[in-house]
Amino acid sequence: MATSLRIINGKVYDPANNIDGEVREIFVQDGRIVADAPADARTIDARGMVIMPGGVDIHCHIAGPKVNLARKLQPEDHRHDPHPGTLFTRSGSGGTVPSTFATGYRYATLGYTTAMEAAVTPIGARHTLEELHDTPVIDKGFYVLLGNNIFLQQLLQEGRREEFKQAVAWWVNATKAYTTKLVNPGGDEPWKGKRNANVADIDEKSEVFGISPRNIIDAFTGVVNELGLPHPVHIHCNNLGHSGNVYTTLETMKTAGDRRLHLAHIQFHSYGGEPGKNPKSAAAEIADYVNSHPNISCDVGQVMFGKSTIMTADAPLAYMLRGFKKGKWVNADTECESGCGIVPFSYQEHVYVHALQWAIGLELFLLSRDPWRIILSTDHPNGGSFMSYPKLIRLLMDREFRKEEMKKVNKKAMRSTRLPDLDREYTLNEIAIITRAGPARALGLKHKGQLGPGADADITIYDEQEDKELMFSAPRYVIKSGDLIIADHEFRNDHAGRILHVAPAYDEDIVGTVRTFFENYYSIEFDNYAVSDQYLYDHEVISTT
Ligand SMILES: [Zn+2]
């Protein structure tokens, strides 16, 4: 139910509109921010409070077949962390991979109102949309995995560039995705076909297709920009987690030239050292490149100590990691589209590599000169749960707290990074950028991450507190599309949230070409593959330019 609201006396942090902590009034009507509200609008007195746009998570894993597989793999997590219902909200279960209901409500309890699921196979799109529709409060969308798609690689191999572009546009439409995702591009085929092999070099040509990861990255960067998608190709580079992968990451960024590109969880791709040996921090080299190339955006993928669940379309990576943690793991293959791996994990302070990963993420945040392009994420639940965001915010805002935490971790790892010398503390304005305004801009969501007239009325109001972890853990008010969802820290309402997707134009002739391939190799009927328009409800098509 839409509400008219007048929010008075609060300190507003709205970086997209150059408002940095000024006391301003915010008005809401019919789900949008407006210039004024009717005289009978409900008033919220936000004296002593901080007002920000709702948080936007640009990269997380919250819905679809692989997420469900991770839930089924860890029933003990759910038993130990029940999520009770309230008068207004439904119950669920938590752990590092919460149920759909708990995911939406827990994001809301942190003041997040938008989240993007970062890796979905085309064949998993329908399942993902069903779960996203079932994830309350937040608006949401997903990125479709196309970087190991056999048919698309065949088109590239045969130099059929225009058909490749039309096929990418068709696939994005057919799945109702938000953009395309590449994960270890070109790495799945050697893994499937050659006893767990992987590609090691961005210029290594596939024996099957004769094309390299660089060819795939270049082609996708080109077509996604040509199609005018609001968010560029979203890439998980080759060699994730391997010592010396900084070379691959820099070369990936260079491949884009001056075209837009988003690098996912860049912390996992910022390692120096020799392959096969212990990694070293290469955060400074990566930060330098990102600082001087405004076409690049990235999210950090911060590691937080404690339990996590590694879930990835990078099947060779998951296969390698299963050896580090003697426990449950899954590797799976999705027809002609992607691999997948799940490994329950935990990051520990005393382990050199884990402490180094923690430090590299913080170095990247602190060495970055443009907060608009270095976005807060933990690659939930890979580096840690999104529920650890408040602690991460405190690590960035509170130098003394950071120094205390540094004392608890592996000393050798700490000495090998620049973290002990970095005194920077993020301001509230910068936090508003890396959690709201920055991700909204990188996603091309003009109505989000800001509080100007016309914006979606997604608003979070925090009690201003010295302890930033406490402050960001429990907003006093959360407003979603104008509905007052949380007031005085308690749920007062429920909300469905919308699916955000794009619909780029494509040439109908491509459908027959895809159909021929599909009917030869897939296990389901082509006519049951694409998600029909009727399937979507509560959705918004974000325009392509
Ligand atoms: Zn991810």
The pTM (predicted TM-score) of the whole model is 0.97
Q: How far is the CA of 1 from the centre of ligand 1 (A)?
A: 34
Distance CA 120, CA 63 (A): 9
419 vs 471: CA distance, rounded Å? 25
- CA of residue 519 to ligand 1 center, whole Å: 31
Helix (H) or strand (E) holding 306: strand 306-312
Distance 520 CA to ligand 1 centre (A): 31
Bond before 381 cis per omega within 30 degrees: yes
Sorted by where each begins, the domain ranges of the chain are: 55-366+383-426
pLDDT of the residue at 140: 98
Q: What is the whole-number distance in angstroms between the Cα of residue 60 and the centre of ligand 1?
A: 6
- CA angle in degrees (0–180, nearest 5) for 467-472-476: 105
Distance from residue 382's CA to the centre of ligand 1 (Å): 7
Note residues around ion ligand 1 (Cβ under 5 angstroms): 118, 379
Q: Which of 421, 377, 372, 418 is nearest to 399 (CA)?
A: 421
d(CA 106, CA 463): 18
Give the position of tokens 């993420």: 361
Q: How far apart are the C-alpha atoms of 179 and 171, rounded to whole Å?
A: 10
Please tell me the distance between residue 61's alpha carbon and the centre of ligand 1 in angstroms: 6
Q: Ligand 1 centre from 142 Cα, in Å? A: 11
Distance 33 CA to ligand 1 centre (A): 32
Ligand 1 geometric centre to CA of 183 (Å):
9
pLDDT at residue number 263: 98
User: Of 285, 288, 231, 292, whose CA–CA distance to 263 is shortest?
Assistant: 231
Identify the pLDDT of residue 2: 52
CA–centroid distance, residue 452 to ligand 1 (Å): 31
The tokens describing 183, both together, are: 């994960």
Q: Running along the chain, 545 residues long, what does each successive block of 10 average in pLDDT? A: 86 98 97 94 97 98 96 93 96 97 98 98 96 98 96 97 98 98 90 78 91 97 97 97 96 98 98 94 98 98 97 86 81 86 94 98 98 98 98 98 98 96 98 98 98 98 98 98 97 97 97 95 93 89 92
Distance, C-alpha 275 to centroid of its chain: 27
User: What 8-state DSSP symbol labels residue 326?
Assistant: -
Q: Please state whether 534 falls in left (phi above 0), alpha (psi between -120 and 50) or beta.
A: alpha
Residues in the chain: 545
Pairing mode, if any, of strands 330-334 and 261-263?
unpaired
> How confident is the model at residue 343, as a pLDDT?
93
